[in-house]
Structure 1
Amino acid sequence: MRQNKRTSPVSQSIAVSVLLLAALFLLPLAVVAPFRPALFGREEPVDETEREEPSPPPVSGGDLDAARPLRVLDGEEVLEMDLGTYLVGVVRAEMPASFELEALKAQAVAARTYTLYKLQSGGNHGEAADVCTDHTCCQAYTGEERARANWGENAAAYEAKVEAAVRSTDGEAILYGGVPILAVFHSSSAGLTRAAGEVWVNDLPYLQAVSSPEPGERIPNYYSRVEFTAEELKARLQAAFPGADLSGGMESWLKDPAADSAGSVAAVSVGGVRAKGTQVRAALELRSACFTWEAQEGKMVFFVTGYGHGVGLSQYGAAAMAAAGADYREILTHYYTGVTVEPYGG
């Protein structure tokens, strides 16, 4: 009896301990059980981060231009690049990046077309290169580093603008009869562009005289003045026209000018030798062939309007059209007669 009495408290103590241990383990499960599906279920967790609206698709990366490799003669070095890279450099060099985007697009398409024309016609560099960076032979070209230095604080915006002009017109060319044209361009004309036949040997149906809205008051050096002493003028004219008789006074050296359809000098008599206005312009390094002259205080003074040969696209005219709301296709089909503007895969 004593033994039972002594062991009963021990048994009771063990039983209590077991119950406490059971309660200790089961209580957390009882608390968690109602939330089990939420904690251990297969549902995906809710993403509570703030969502942004999807961005618009980027502008075309220029796949058509990128697919055309080009060898560009730069001085004595031949640079290998794709057409798109080359065109960005041409637009940087040939047109002010401050111009309207549609004008820059027109320039990009004209430059692309001119390049394609060169490629198809064989160019001027034989097997050595396709084109060069000399503007008197092909088209001017400026690298990004030099362009950014020239642009200063506007560099980032201007570079993005020029690249957009090339990318957004990827592969597009000016076509006449389905083939790329000789897409020449110039800075500014005297209100009318000139027909190719009035400047060079051959006429072309798509390079005819058209009106051009030149904002003369806003164009740097749109009106220019050049003067020569009698000795300077004689030396230049004699070098360009060896058969000219320049024995009299300088007032008699240039006579009988004839104007073309754009008002430029088509031809003039130089000491009895009939010469083209473009030849006189080159000899005297005038900004255009739209010039007049008169003797003043012992010098011959030339008054010049516009800049460039005056054929094809006028860059300042294109800028004026773009500012008035014209898009690049309207600009191009205005300056180049009877053409279409479309992607060209030839």
Structure 2
Amino acid sequence: MKKHLTLLLLILAFQVSFTGWVKAQLTSLPRGGNKRATVSEEIGITDVMIRYNRPGVKKREGHIWGELIPVGYTELGYGAKKPAPWRAGANENTTIEFTTDVKIEGYDLPAGKYGFFVAYDPGECTLIFSKNSTSWGNFFYDPAEDALRVTVKPIKTDKSVEWLKYEFTDQTPESATIQLQWEKLVIPFKVEVDVIATQIASFRKELRGDKALPESWEAWNQAAAYCAQNKTNLPQALMWADSATSVTFGGTESFYAWQTKASILEQLGRGTEAADVMKKAMPFASQIQAYTYAAGLVDAKKPKEAFEIFKMNYDKHPNSLFTNIGMASGYSALGDYKKALTFAQKALLQAKGGNKLLIEKNVRDLQNGKDMND
């Protein structure tokens, strides 16, 4: 009896383990000889990722669109048992994911992961972004879960694409067109991102985390400088600049941090304060930083202010290439071409390569009584 009991327990144990083994799913090729694929791109700081299965034409050219892929919606007789669009690929759901809010063909779509479907029509296709991204294929498609529908015109092509693919085309810093390509048809749709808004939203989030710890003035300055460069979000940018130049975050001796703050104040119409801030900044400027700042003042038609910076830089770093050409630029902006020529000729002796060619032109302009800054 004891032997029989032991044998029975062994059989039961084997059955349990065998059942678990049978249910385990091993890695295998996709069904139907299709290919799994992932394609992704960044638009600004927005990640766009598409996961899909790639069916092949497999000698069915001329029988894909309108036949294998029916027009409109099809009753599949399984799952939700509702008319369903094409799964925009094969096997599992095709999914598309956006890490920030986007616009699809001009319509808003929040950040998230979506099931992607296409209701094909030779004249106008309906693209469907479903909140359900986890169901298998299109068998459980439910229109109540649609997040967005847009219509686009399919494009016929002469060249046949054997394996269905998604491709990013017509890319700009703010947008891209995603093309579904298969056989001799392209279904395109445009994705747009508000790059500045998403970047600022990212700054706001990150500056509440470990990137904004004490001694991290660079992070605060990066955010403030971005706003200054793009002339946006200036009141908050000024607060970020205040943090960058504070003792807590360690930017009190950074020329860049003070210059960023001055730029924001200038754009806010607070020019006197901006000038005072730049006075604080100048002791921390390298000779190249000082030269670049003064050259910007020349371009802004502020010759007296520019000359003061060029002179201060020269006194601090006498007779260098940058300070000599700076003095030449400063005197030229004031209309004193004779003194400007003296410094330009000194700079010419120090220059090499492309700098030498540029300074040779400066010398010729001054010799001909012309402002070298023009």
Superposition TM-score tier, normalisation by shorter sequence: under 0.3
What is the TM-score normalised by the length of structure 2?
0.19
Structure possessing the higher radius of gyration over alpha carbons: 1
Structure that is richer in strand per residue: 2
What is the TM-score normalised by the length of structure 1?
0.20
Structure of greater relative contact order (alpha carbons < 8 Å, 6+ residues apart): 1
